[in-house]
Amino acid sequence: MGSGVVAFNIMPKKAILCDSNPHLIDFYNSIKFGKITYNLVSLFLKEEGEKLKNKGQDYYYEVRERFNANKEPLDFLFLNRSCFNGMIRFNKKGGFNVPFCRKPQRFEQAYITKIVNQVSYIQTLLNHHDFEFKCQDFEITVKNTSNTDIIYCDPPYIGRHVDYYNSWDEKHEIKLNELLKKTKSKFILSTWHSNDYRKNTYLSTVWNKFKILTREHFYHVGGYEKNRNPMLEALVTNYKAIYVEKTVQKEEQLTLFEKIVGLNAI
């Protein structure tokens, strides 16, 4: 599933979104079943943002400790929006361990409004579309598809940032490849192709039997600005596909990656 933006963007009538991260699934199920609403998010972030402004990083780490103890989805949202680079990373014991972004005034009203609008959009979407959120391994997900389904796989990028919820290595990459070779469904896999320094060798070995599309993408994740560079992204498919480019002229026409979630899209 990742952040879910692919499903939120194409808006199919029915979708099953699966991820091994239980906190991500819990967050979206909380929206789906009304435990989290845009009004509640607005009130929560105003109150928590004020505490962050007054106490600084000490309060961020207080919330992080609280989340690791209680696993509340609103605390998960708070941490994701105020941690370093908006990363999601957990240690081997399952504890969220991303440091503070060092911006005590993170939750200004404009930023809260942006997040509330995102949640409001998802609420509306889930009211009109049949989306199911499941915490399960990719092997189970792929094996339970049919030839009328389209599978979109967004695993951690092997050889790059893999410390997401649980690590991703060559064993997982090969297992996913074996499953997708056998599937009767159409599939799309997102990964990285190359940057100025090296290439993803798995594309020419593990994935070399499939079609590959590429597109340049700027990466904002990196401890230092010099490490945030353009990279060629790849989409691997088992069918012939082409890009359809759109010219963005108005804010309302931004992709859901940018407009709804505030991240950068392929």
User: For 82-93, what is each residue's pLDDT tens digit?
Assistant: 999 888 889 888
Of the listed ranges 41-50, 68-77, 239-248, the least confidently predicted one is: 239-248
The CATH number for 69's domain is 1.10.1020.10
Are 92 and 120 in a shared domain?
yes
| 7 and 114 together in one domain | no
> Of 109, 134, 159, which residue is a domain's last?
134
The answer to whether residues 121 and 179 belong to one domain is no
> What is the total count of domains within the chain?
2
**Beta carbons of 234 and 213 less than 8 angstroms apart:** yes
For the whole model, what pTM was predicted? 0.83
pLDDT (average), residues 52-62: 97
User: Do 55 and 145 reside in the same domain of the chain?
Assistant: no
Q: Percentage of the chain with pLDDT > 70?
A: 83
Confidence band of 45 (pLDDT split at 50, 70, 90): very high
130 and 240 housed in the same domain: no
Angle between helices 57-70 and 73-82 (to 10 degrees): 140
pLDDT at 230 > cutoff 90: no
Give the list of residues 6+ apart from residue 86 with CB closer than 8 angstroms, or none. Answer: 80, 263
Q: Which domain holds residue 61?
A: 21-134
d(CA 77, CA 81): 6
The pLDDT of residue 220 is above 90? no
| 40-44, 104-108, 189-193: least confidently modelled range | 189-193
Joined tokens for residue 19: 């991820």
**Is 252's pLDDT higher than 90?**
no
142 and 58 share one domain: no
Q: Looking at the predicted structure, is the pLDDT value of residue 80 above 80?
A: yes
Confidence at residue 215, expressed as pLDDT on a 0 to 100 scale: 84
Question: Is residue 144 located within the same domain as residue 82?
Answer: no
262 confidence band (pLDDT: 50, 70, 90): very low
Task: Establish how many alpha carbons lie within 13 A of residue 209's alpha carbon, considering only the half-sphere containing its beta carbon.
Answer: 6
**Nearest alpha carbon to residue 210 among 230, 232, 231, 191:** 191
79 near 71, Cβ under 8 Å? no
Residue whose token pair is 């908006």: 86
Do residues 154 and 244 share a domain?
Answer: yes
Residue 163: the pLDDT is 57
- Looking at the fold, whether 38 and 112 belong to one and the same domain comes out as yes
At 254 the pLDDT is 39
pLDDT of residue 263: 33
143 lies in the same domain as 261: yes
DSSP state of 13: S
Which range (84-93, 158-167, 231-240, 254-263) has the least confidence?
254-263
The domain that holds 157 is classified in CATH as 3.40.50
Pick the last residue of a domain from 86, 117, 134: 134
Q: Are residues 74 and 203 in the same domain?
A: no
* In the chain, % of residues over pLDDT 90: 67
> Which range scores top for mean pLDDT: 118-127, 163-172, 247-256?
118-127
Tokens of 12: 């199919």
End of a domain among 93, 117, 134?
134
**CA Rg value for the chain:** 19
Does the pLDDT of residue 199 top 70, yes or no? yes
Q: Is the pLDDT score of 30 beyond 80? A: yes
Chain centroid to Cα 81, Å, comes to: 13
Both 31 and 6 in one domain: the answer is no
